[in-house]
Amino acid sequence: MDKNHMVKCSVTTCKYNDSNCCISKKINVTGEYATECNETVCDTFTTKSNVLTNALSSIDCSGKTIINCEATNCKYNEDCNCNLNTIDVNCTCNSCNCETPQQTCCSSFEKQ
């Protein structure tokens, strides 16, 4: 069963980042065999273009994102869905300037 969440995001190079909040309606976290957060990936990451997109900014960021999670070793994974109300997504390179999905991670990951 899909559950709505709030996704805090410090990946400023992602087109879905609006004031450190993910405004995508649905994200996919990969890392099926992850044992730590830096082995997970926000597969929904899309590099921000130079074109302003007003349509994205109109999306509400109050916990309306569905999180599909493939990280089966995470204690919050419940039938491939995250059961946390709020998660944090950031860059594994310890900056906010990720260039590919593989440089992102779910820092809320906790091994079960």
pLDDT tens per residue across all 112 residues of the chain: 567 789 999 999 999 999 999 999 999 999 999 999 999 999 999 998 854 544 444 455 666 889 999 999 999 999 999 999 999 999 986 667 788 899 999 999 999 9
User: Is residue 66 classed as helix, strand or coil in its secondary structure?
Assistant: strand
Q: What is the largest CA-CA distance in the chain?
A: 41
The pairing of strands 41-42 and 26-30 is antiparallel
Nearest-angstrom CA–CA distance, 73 and 29? 12
- Rounded to an integer, what distance in angstroms lies between the CA atom of residue 56 and that of residue 80? 26
Measured CA to CA, the distance from residue 91 to residue 42 in angstroms comes to 9
